[in-house]
Structure formats: structure tokens, C-alpha cells
Chain A
Amino acid sequence: MSRTIRDLVEAAVDALAGLAVRGEDVDDEWSYVADIEAAWRARLEEVATTRGDEPASGTVAHAVDLAIDEVARIADPHRAIDWLSTFPQVVLVALGEVP
């Protein structure tokens, strides 16, 4: 069964939350981590609101899945903070959106 844009965004938002949990280990960046996660989650959710029911092509779904796999590998909290910005941009361009 093909997945929709909403399915992909929901998976990406979950992965973003996982990155935030890892980034929170950097004590003095705790509130920045919370703010940047919220900012990008809101942008991703806008896409689900406007295009959520659209079917995602196999290529797009694969690109988003790979991005999620990549961030799942990130263990270092500092690198996780870098990816809190990079990951949603990669997902958004895969979905054909402007970050």
C-alpha cells in the first residue's frame, strides 16, 4: 500500500523528536533544542496539512526513509543538534518543498 505525504511527515516528526532527545544531553543548549525542534516540526506539519492526502512516490518515500535511517545513526548529542536543522531540510526538499 502506498504511503501518503502525511505518513512520511509523521515519521519525520518522530525522527526529529528522537534527535531532540539526543541533543538535550548538551545542557546549555536545552532550550535551543526545544525551540529548533518546534520550529521545524511546525514547518513539516504545514506540509501535512496542505498535502497530507497526496500519495508519495516510491522515490520520495525512499529518500525520506533514508534520511530517517541516517539520523537514527547519530549518537553524538552535538551532531544531533546539527541534524535538528539539516534533517528537516532534507525531508522537505525530498517532498518537493522549500525548507
Chain B
Amino acid sequence: MVHRAADLLAEATFLQRLLARAVMNGESDEAALWRSMFPGLFDPISASGDSAEGSARARSEALLAVALEVAGRGDRVRDQIRGAIVEALTERLLSRRTGGGAVRRERRILFDGVRSEIHPYDVTVEVPGAAEAFDCKWGARGIKADVLHQLDDARVHAGDEDARLRVGLVVFDADRSCRVRLARETAPSAGTHLISLEALDRLATGEWHDRALP
């Protein structure tokens, strides 16, 4: 289920990703209700039978189906699955830019002399001279001081060893909500990049590099 959802989300538009977020957060299990809530995704296919239109509609239906499957699980399992989906999606998008062999999951980054701060990162890109580490969150509420400290520590310690490490928070939630959350945090975030729901495709293009948090 996680891989199916991540495969679909990797190809999805912002609106389709928002549908998935809403359904996976939701209470209702009626597909028809969600179709009506997102009319732009489920318009009847025009008489011309345009294949792109048909393919987008089919992806919306497939995403709705898998999101309802996730929503149908108990709260604890749902939370775990949603987190795993964001990690798997991040992995897929990064792989488009870097090649699959460079992208790893749940990796620890070791720095001499700072072993006490060893922390497993959700997704890493291991390219000599251009490494990246990401923490992945389902919602803005997952942004907490410990996460920001861990990312910043990794970046700073890498710098101490003359290594370059870009760090980012991938959040399957709106940029506005993430910034509300970040405004409350005093942990260092100036060197951390935010990749929110609207900007996920930048993982594949690398454009997030210029968007460190203020």
C-alpha cells in the first residue's frame, strides 16, 4: 500500500496530493463524497476522449482508492503508514534527480568526535561533495525543536569537517501551516530547507537548494 501510494503521488499534481492528504486525514469513507469535494479532479472526460485527461482522471481515482485504504486503518497504523508514504515519496522524487543508487532510507550520518549526536535520517542522498539529508513529516505539527536541532547539527558538523551537507524538512502539508509552526520554534533553522506540499516536485529538480528558511 505504501509503495502504491508513493508511486501515484510521485506522478501526481498538487491538487491530487491535496486530495490524498484530505482523504487520509478524513472520516468519510464514501468515494463519491470526496469526488464531489474535489470536482476539478473528477470532471467527466470530454467527448474528445483526450488521453492525458483520461490518464489524470485515472490517477485521481487510483489515489482516492489507496487513500481510502489508508484512512480505513486504525489511528495508530494510519499515522505510521502516512509517515512511510512521505518517506517513500521523497525517495522517489529525489531518485529522479540523483539516480536511485544515491538515495538511502534510515541512514545514520557519522562525524568523528560527535558520536553522541548520531541520528538516523529518513532519507539521504549520498553523493560525494553534494550530500543531502531529509526528515519527512506528514503534517506541520511534526516540526519540532528536536528535528530542527538534528538537521542543523548534521549540517554544522559536516561543515566542521569541510564536507557539504544540505538538510531539508519534507512536509506533506501547506507551506503556510509549516511557517506558522516554524515561527514558534527557537531551534536553529536558517540552514534548513523547507519542502512543503506545494513544492514537492522541487526534490526532483533540485530547486529547493535556494530556499533555505529565513
Contacts and interface: CB of A to CB of B under 8 A. Distances in A.
B25 A79 contact: yes
Contacts of B47: none
B61 interface: no
A79 B82 CA distance: 13
B139 interface: yes
B141 A63 contact: no
A11 interface: no
Contacts of A86: 18, 21-22, 25, 173
Contacts of B22: 70, 86, 89-90
B141 A32 contact: yes
A53 interface: no
For this complex, into which size category does the number of interface residues on chain B fall?
20 to 34
A32 B33 contact: no
Nearest to A43: B176
Contacts of B37: 63, 66-67, 70, 90, 94
Interface stretch (B86-94, B100-108, B115-123, B180-188): B180-188
Contacts of B28: 70, 73
Contact of B181 (A32, A67, A99): A32
A40 B184 contact: no
